[in-house]
Amino acid sequence: MNTATNATPDSSGVVPFGARAPILSLNNIDKVFGRDVVALKGMSLDIRTGDFISLLGPSGCGKSTALRLIADLIHPTSGSIRWQVEKTPGALSVVFQEPSLMPWATVADNVWLPFRLQGKSRASVADDIAEALELVGLENFHNAYPRELSGGMKMRVSIARALVTHPRIILMDEPFAALDEITRFKLNNDLLELKSKIGCTVVFVTHSVFESVFLSDRIVVMAARPGRVIHELHVNEPYPRSEEFRTSSEYVAHCRATSDALRDAMEEHA
C-alpha cells in the first residue's frame, strides 16, 4: 500500500484512505442541547481530501448536528474541531435539503452570493460563476429566476452556489430527499461526475442506504439516543462510478453490509 503523504491513486484508481491529506478533524465531540438532550456523544471523524463521507442513521442520531458543528453554526459542548488546513472564507459550503435560493435574485446572482459576501463584484468573479453553472449543466439559465426552474434545477443552482468558491469541504444535508426518484438518480449520477471532474470533498447526510453506497467511499453509520458513531464502512469502488454500478454484485454486497450496520444502529437503543 502506498504510504506516501501526498495522495496518489493506486492501480485501481482509488486514493487509499491513509494517503489522503487531512482537512478537518473532530475529536471526541459531545453536544448536549439544553440540560440533558445528548445529541452527540464521543464523535470523532477525520475528513480528508477527496473523501466522500456519508453520515447514515435513523432520525435523531445526530447526523445533522454533526454537520452543523462542522459548519461552525453551533459549538461542541466538549471535544474539539480542528482545521488542518487554513480556513479561508468560502473554504466550506453547505447544500441544504431545500434549495434555499433567494427568490428575488437571478440564478447567476444566487451563485454570486458567497463572493458577494466577501465584497467581490460580480464582474470580477463572472468566470467562476459561469464555470460553476456549467458544471451543473445550467449554463443557459444565468438570467432565470428560481421560480422558473424545476425542483431538480433549483437544487443544481444550490450546488453551483456551493461549488463556486472551490471549497475544501462541501456539506450536504439530505439534499435530494425532497426530489422524486428519477430526478434523485440523475442528480446522484451528476454529483459523482462532478466529483471525478473537480475532486471535491463531500460530507453527505442521508437516510438512504442505496444513496450512501452509490455515492460515498466512507459510510459512517450512526445510532440515536445518544447520537453516536457505531460503524464505519468503506466502499472501495473506484470513481467514476457509472449507472451500471447500481446493478453490480459489488453494489448489492455493499448495500447488504450497510443495511446490516444500520440494523445494528436501530437495535442499539431499542
Partner 1 sequence: MTIADPITELPQVDEEEALRARRRRNESIGRWVLPILVITLSIWLWDRIVVWNELPHYILPGPGRVLQALVEDWAILFDSLLVTLQITLGALAIAVAGGVGLAVLFTQSRWIEMSFFPYAVILQVTPVVSIAPLIFIYVDSRLAGLLICAWIVAFFPILSNTTMGLNSADHNLRDLFKVYGASRWQRLRFLQLPSALPYFLGGLRIAGGLSLIGAVVAEYVAGTGGIGSGLAFRILEAGYRLNIPRMFAALFLIAVTGVVIYATLSFISHMALRKWHESAIKREV
Residue 1 contacts residue 12 (beta carbons within 8 Å) = no
Residue 147: DSSP 8-state: G
Task: Output 20 or 68, the one with its CB closest to partner 1.
Answer: 68
Residue from 103, 123, 182, 270 touching partner 1 (CB under 8 A): that is 103
Q: Where does 41-136 have alpha helices with state H?
A: 63-70, 107-116, 126-135
Residue from 43, 66, 92, 265 touching partner 1 (CB under 8 A): that is 92
Binding mask 136-175 for partner 1 (x = CB under 8 A): ---------xxx----------------------------
Asked if 73 interacts with partner 1 (CB under 8 A), we say yes
Say how far apart CA 218 and CA 232 lie, in whole Å. Answer: 7
Residue from 17, 96, 185, 210 touching partner 1 (CB under 8 A): that is 96
Asked if 10 interacts with partner 1 (CB under 8 A), we say no
Please, which of residues 104-123 interact with partner 1 by CB under 8 A? 104-105, 113-114, 116-118
- The footprint of partner 1 on this chain (CB under 8 A) covers a number of residues equal to 24
Please, which of residues 31-70 interact with partner 1 by CB under 8 A? 68
Contacts 24+ apart (CB under 8 A), 264-270: 264/221, 264/223, 264/230, 264/231, 265/57, 265/58, 265/61, 265/221, 265/222, 265/223, 265/224, 265/230, 265/231, 266/58, 266/223, 268/223, 268/224, 268/230, 269/223, 269/224, 269/225
Q: What are the residues binding partner 1 (CB under 8 A)?
A: 68, 71-73, 89-90, 92-94, 96, 98, 100, 102-105, 113-114, 116-118, 145-147
